[in-house]
Structures are given as C-alpha cells and as structure tokens.
C-alpha cells in the first residue's frame, strides 16, 4: 500500500475488535495499528476479503491454556492461537486471535526486546494463520518467516536476534 493512502482507508481493509481481559499497557489503537501495518504488505492485502474483520483477545495464560486444551487438545498455555472463521455466516470475518499477555512479557524478556515487538510478532503470526498460511512444512515456514519479517519491518518492530530465523 502506498504511503499516500490515508489511515481511514486502511481501517476499511481490516476492522479489529480488541478485547482485553488482563491489564496490558498497550491500548487497543496500538493493536489496530499493528494490523494496519500488516495490511500494507501486498501479500497480506491481496488475501483480505472486502470488509475484513477479526477479534483479538488479550488474555492470561489460564485462558490460553483452556482454549488450547479445548480446541487443539494440548493442555498447556501458549503465546498465540488463531481460530479461522472458515467463511461461515459472516462474509469478511477472518476469525479470532488470542494472545497471552503474561507470555508476551516473558518472551520479550527472554529475547531481549520490548513487549511491543513480541506482541507485534504474535499478532503478525496469528493474522498469517487466519489468512491461510501455515508453517507445518519447510516451504510454508519460509513463506511465513519472510512475510513476518516484512510486516515487522514495515512496523519498525525490532525483535531479538534469536527470536525468528531469517527467511
């Protein structure tokens, strides 16, 4: 997307509802700006349906563990979960993302980068899954890694050297 495109136009590319169930210092507008930046990546923008929308849940480890157990059969907390809508009754609805704020904080400390960088990385990762990307095989992993780096660079979110392999 060109720099001349207005913020209002970007908002129309992807509507994001942010729900926070834990105290996280980042405001909903910050999360929406991360999604807006991702939408500037041509490969992402090309896959967005008209009137695209999603819900982001910022929650705690217990909530992510419960969701992970219920929907994926894994009884452990995780950093991000993506629940694609599959088209369903709401055209344009991509699905739901959930991130664990305590895990964001721990991983940011571990990889020596700001919580904004870690949260941005998880949002990019989750959005790519909602758009159909996967890292189950090496080829898919390379594509996701390349797109993740592209989005993070657009957002000027630097991450620790060990956090994400180069594409």
Give residue 8's pLDDT.
39
pLDDT in tens, 87-127: 666 778 999 999 999 999 999 999 999 999 999 999 999 99
Across the range 33-56, mean pLDDT stands at 93
159 Cα distance to chain centroid: 15
pLDDT in tens, 12-29: 478 999 999 999 999 999
Confidence band of 5 (pLDDT split at 50, 70, 90)? very low
pTM for this model (two decimals): 0.88
Confidence band of 6 (pLDDT split at 50, 70, 90)? very low
Confidence band of 148 (pLDDT split at 50, 70, 90)? very high
């Amino acid at each position: 997307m060109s720099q001349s495109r207005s913020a209002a136009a970007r908002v129309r590319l992807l509507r994001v509802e942010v729900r926070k169930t834990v105290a996280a210092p980042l405001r909903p507008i910050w999360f929406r700006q991360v999604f807006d930046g991702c939408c500037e990546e041509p490969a992402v923008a090309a896959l967005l349906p008209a009137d695209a929308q999603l819900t982001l849940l910022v929650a705690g480890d217990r909530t992510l563990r419960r969701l992970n157990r219920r929907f994926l059969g894994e009884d452990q907390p995780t950093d991000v979960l993506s629940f694609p809508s599959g088209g369903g009754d709401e055209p344009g609805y991509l699905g739901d993302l959930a991130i664990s704020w305590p895990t964001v904080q721990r991983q940011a400390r571990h990889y020596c980068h700001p919580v904004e960088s870690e949260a941005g990385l998880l949002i990019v990762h989750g959005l790519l899954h909602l758009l159909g990307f996967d890292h189950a095989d090496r080829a898919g992993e390379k594509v996701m890694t390349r797109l993740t780096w592209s989005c993070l660079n657009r957002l000027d979110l630097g991450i620790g050297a060990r956090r994400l392999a180069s594409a």
